[in-house]
Amino acid sequence: MRQAAFNEALSGFDAVARIWRRRGVFALVAGAVFAFAVVALIVLPVRYLATASVIIAEQEPGANTSAAWAQKIGDPADMESQLLVIRSPRLLRQIMSSPGVVDAVVGECERGRLLGSAEACQRLKTDVGAFIDHVDSRFSVASAGRSRVINISYQSGSPEVAQTLANALTQTFLEDQRTEGANSREVASSWLWQELKQLDQQLREADDKIQKFRRTKGLMRGANAPISSERLTSIGQQLSQAEAARAEAAARLQEIKSEQERGPTDAPSVLQSRTIADLKQQLTTVSAQLASAAGVLGPKHPSILALTREQATIQQRLVDEMQTIAASAQKTFDANNALVTSLKKQMDQAKAEAGSATLDEASIESMVRDTEIKRQQYAELYKKASELETERRVLRGSTRLVSLAELPSKPFFPKKAPFLAAGLTLAIIFGVAAALLADQLARLGSKLKPAPALPEVVDSDVVAAPIEDAPASAPDLPETVDAPAAAIATPTPSERKSPLPSVADVSILACLPRLKTLRQMSALGAILQGYQPLAIPQVLRLASEDGEFQHTLHDLVHELGLDQAARPQRVAVTSPEAGDGKTTTVCALAEHLAAAGSRVLLVECDLAHPAVAQVMALPADQGWLRALEHGTPLRDEVLGTEHPHLDVLPLGAATGAVGDILEAINLDALLSGLDDYDVILIDTPLPARDDFLAGIDWAVVCVRSDRSLIEPAVTTVNRSRALGAGDVGIVVTMTETETRAIAQPAAHAAYAEAG
């Protein structure tokens, strides 16, 4: 270890030792400060905090998200702007109109006023400036972290007033946001409705004008087109049909007239007549009969004459029928010709009317097109006006309520736990400062007094180099003497020399001497070396007979505070390595306390090297392991010894595998229910469980004086602190008398700082 690190460790140990020496001053100052904190907790007025929350920069209903709106979301500048708006005097003036706000503020002012009249409080009802000054300092408006939520809080001595004011400002802010957004929409909506009214009047006038023009110009429409166009089309179709019929009739008439020269019976139109066909068939029959009869009978035969007359009659009928057909064809031609002439006249008139209506239709189309444009504009404006009206009615603004303030049930200030914790922290700080200051003043006073040579009691701070770097002759070390209550003696170099090369920054509570008789007993010497723990009873017998050893145990009891404790004390005794005298020390300390009249319980927790049961001649199967395994009360496993005030809770034996049982328990839970003893001593190693030593008042680390390395002791001390021990101290075992600086407990500090 370097000299700087060694000096730092010694300075930390020296500070703790100085505080311990002035523990009376520490307790007095710390108690006074803590008592002042308790009185302040009682006297200070209680204040309640009510908080409401709103969220800003939310998209409004019915509005499309724009780039400007997206940039606004989460903008710190926008958040700051909203915070300033909430705290603005304009909103604070508006909350005066909220129901019950002014009365609540006046009542709060009157309750919190200690001196003077209530006139100043009554002035809050009419004086806006005084009202704002009163409530502004009690409002707290801040954003919640990096979110868009704003918390609006109000502090008051009355929870009802805090809730009322916080909700009033929140509702006023939300209503202001809604009103601001609704005003612009109301103006736009009013303008749109006015424009719609004008457009509606224009459309009505345009429709009337179009209808009047149509009636005036006769531009009535048919099924698919205007009447004139449909009439012209119909006349054209009729004219075409009439001309076709006339042409057909003319062709028939011409055919009949041309065939009259060759014989009417040969004309195609004649042949198409049914009557002509029947007559020709009759004529053929009669002609055949006449020809047949003429070959047999004479010309004057009556049959021949009858057939001749019948033939002539049929031929005459054919001629008459032919003339009738020709006359009919002539009539048909004349009728069709007259129809064509009439339709041509109508066609000319319809063409004139259609040409005249073309310009009128163009004017009508222009008027209709303008009307349709206005009608489309009317529809769009009406839709936009309806949307604005809907948004205005449902508008909530860009701010939305998250939650209103609830009635606070717990005071915001002062809070008992943090207040007492702060008071306790200040008490410890002032106590430590007072103890160190008192010790420093005592040192300065002792330096001014002559120091008589009394070597029995020495309280010194010695700083030396580690033993690895020191020469064999051990030169004189610098020395600072502080003996406010006893005489001072300068120890010799041999007395200042410590068997340990270094120690941790904790107090050395005692230096247990090596028993002189052990040097002639090789077996007991081996016991102290950790090789034969079964001979510990012999060591305890020798320790009980050694006055110096018992005197050192008495000093150790005093350093641990076991002789003046107002409650049961728990002391865990451990060691860095096996053979450091842990079991011997705890057993000797237990017997010493029991002999002094204290009720002592010795608990064995060393699973690797159990020896207490054998040392005390107790049953090996009974102990707390069996109680944990069977679930029986731990007190049933406590065994008495030959000492009336000394009981033992041995390890015992379990039927199952114990494993790392110390990793699963802590001593506080294990020893619960065994608080009727004055002192509980635990012989235990240090497991890795974080809270194993929680509830333990002292952790005593036993270190042999002839160990060459100090790192195991430092590690054990640090682990004891990490495991939750209240205080940690070191006991040096098996020290030689000639190497001990002095036999009194005051020399332990000098030993702790020697290298």
Calculate mean pLDDT across residues 366-375: 86
Amino acid 512: pLDDT: 87
Amino acid 467: pLDDT: 30
pLDDT exceeds 50 at position 666:
yes
Q: How many CB atoms are closer than 10 A to CB 372?
A: 12
pLDDT exceeds 50 at position 645:
yes
Containing 437, the helix (H) or strand (E) segment is helix 416-447
Report in angstroms the alpha-carbon separations of 641 from 594, 614, 621, 684, 731.
11, 12, 16, 20, 26
Lowest mean pLDDT among 88-102, 355-369, 601-615, 689-703: 355-369
- Strand order in 149-156's β-sheet? 139-143, 149-156, 48-55, 400-403
Higher pLDDT, 257 or 329: 329
Lowest mean pLDDT among 526-540, 581-595, 710-724: 526-540
- Residues 6+ away with beta carbon under 8 Å from 217: 357, 360
Global pTM value: 0.36
Higher pLDDT, 688 or 308: 308
Please check whether residue 541 lies inside any domain of the structure: yes
Report in angstroms the alpha-carbon separations of 552 from 487, 640, 742.
20, 26, 11
> Which of 178-187, 336-345, 473-482, 567-576 ranks highest by mean pLDDT?
567-576
Percent of the chain that is helix, strand, coil (3-state, to 5): 60, 10, 30
Q: How confident is the model at residue 471 (pLDDT cuts 50, 70, 90)?
A: very low
Q: Are 396 and 59 in contact (CB under 8 A)?
A: no
Please check whether residue 69 lies inside any domain of the structure: no
Calculate mean pLDDT across residues 143-164: 89
Please check whether residue 688 lies inside any domain of the structure: yes
Please check whether residue 724 lies inside any domain of the structure: yes
Taking each helix axis from N to C end, the angle separating 159-217 and 101-112, rounded to the nearest 10 degrees, works out to 160
DSSP state of 58: P
Q: How confident is the model at residue 656 (pLDDT cuts 50, 70, 90)?
A: low
- Residues 6+ away with beta carbon under 8 Å from 150: 53, 54, 55, 56, 79, 82, 83, 86, 141, 142, 143, 144
Amino acid 747: pLDDT: 39
Report in angstroms the alpha-carbon separations of 528 from 484, 513, 519, 575.
37, 12, 11, 13
Please check whether residue 413 lies inside any domain of the structure: no
Q: What is the pLDDT of residues 698-722, one digit of tens each?
A: 999 998 887 767 788 888 888 888 8
Name the amino acid, one letter, at 18: R
* CA pair distance 509, 557, nearest whole angstrom: 9
Calculate mean pLDDT across residues 592-613: 88
Output the average pLDDT for the chain: 75
What does the H/E/C string look like for 321-378?
HHHHHHHHHHHHHHHHHHHHHHHHHHHHHHHHHHHHHHHHHHHHHHHHHHHHHHHHHH
Q: What is the pLDDT of residues 380-411, one digit of tens each?
A: 888 888 887 777 666 656 688 889 988 888 88
Bridge-based pairing state of the strands 139-143 and 149-156: antiparallel
Please check whether residue 98 lies inside any domain of the structure: no
Q: How confident is the model at residue 428 (pLDDT cuts 50, 70, 90)?
A: very high
Amino acid 679: pLDDT: 92
Q: Are 513 and 543 in contact (CB under 8 A)?
A: no
Please check whether residue 432 lies inside any domain of the structure: no
Amino acid 426: pLDDT: 92
Rg value, the chain, Cα: 64
Q: Is 412 helix (H, G, I), strand (E, B) or coil?
A: coil
Q: What is the pLDDT of residues 484-525, one digit of tens each?
A: 333 333 333 333 333 334 465 678 888 888 875 544 444 434
pLDDT exceeds 50 at position 350:
yes
Give me the percent of the chain exceeding a pLDDT of 70.
74
Domain holding 607, by residue range, is 500-735
Instruction: State residue 574 phi and psi, 5-degree precision.
Output: -140, 180
Please check whether residue 149 lies inside any domain of the structure: no
Domain count, the chain: 1
Amino acid 281: pLDDT: 83
Higher pLDDT, 442 or 52: 52
Amino acid 752: pLDDT: 40
Q: How confident is the model at residue 589 (pLDDT cuts 50, 70, 90)?
A: very high
Q: How many CB atoms are closer than 10 A to CB 447?
A: 11
Calculate mean pLDDT across residues 627-635: 81
Amino acid 585: pLDDT: 92
Q: How confident is the model at residue 262 (pLDDT cuts 50, 70, 90)?
A: low
Q: What is the CATH number of the domain that holds 637?
A: 3.40.50.300
pLDDT exceeds 80 at position 466:
no
Give me the percent of the chain exceeding a pLDDT of 90.
10
Q: How confident is the model at residue 739 (pLDDT cuts 50, 70, 90)?
A: very low
Q: What is the pLDDT of residues 202-234, one digit of tens each?
A: 888 888 887 877 777 666 555 566 666 777 788
